[in-house]
Amino acid sequence: MADAVRPTKKQREILNYIEIFIAQHGYSPSYREIMNGLNYTSVSTVSLHVNSLIARGHLKKRDHSARSIEVVNTKDVVPIKNNQITVSQEKWLVTQIEQRFAELEQSQRPNADDIDGLYVLVGALKILGLDGAAHSFIPRLSPLKEKSVNPAER
């Protein structure tokens, strides 16, 4: 559950209350019982938190059925996929791109396909949220593009 969306503090209180209530009574509490048990002043507040817990995958509830709240086993929670990369992955990627830039900058006339590949890699940096790294490479793209053009074609 470390990668799943964790409940907020208030939602955790409600989740714990529901688990204890079900263990003691054998059925789930009503929203009003949750409200009274946790000293809330509004059933709608309980409803908002319960609906959020359902959306986050911590609770299940059958539609149009009283006392149908069920706590989802934490082993059943599907972790949310995370597209963030680690610092070591970022460092590796930036190093690889830097090496490709260095190779092409030293060549007399770089291949246009290789330069297009660099554009893709810089775009990938932006998509991954590594804007600083992407912006550091962008000024180096134009001189490479100029260098790749045949002087007779200019």
For 100-133, write each residue's pLDDT tens digit: 999 999 988 888 899 999 999 999 998 888 888 8
The b/e string for 119-150 (b: 16+ C-beta within 10 A; e otherwise) is: eebbeebeebebeebbeebeeeeeebeeebee
Measured between alpha carbons, how far is 77 from 131 in angstroms, rounded to an integer? 33
How buried is 3 (Cβ within 10 angstroms: 0-12 exposed, 13-18 middle, 19+ buried)?
exposed
* Fold topology of 9-76: Arc Repressor Mutant, subunit A (1.10.10)
Tokens of 1: 């559950």
Residue boundaries of the structural domains of the chain: 9-76, 87-153
- H helices within the chain, ranges in order? 9-25, 31-37, 43-55, 87-106, 112-127, 131-148
pLDDT tens digits for range 33-78: 999 999 999 999 998 998 888 888 888 888 777 788 888 875 544 5
Question: pTM for the full model?
Answer: 0.46
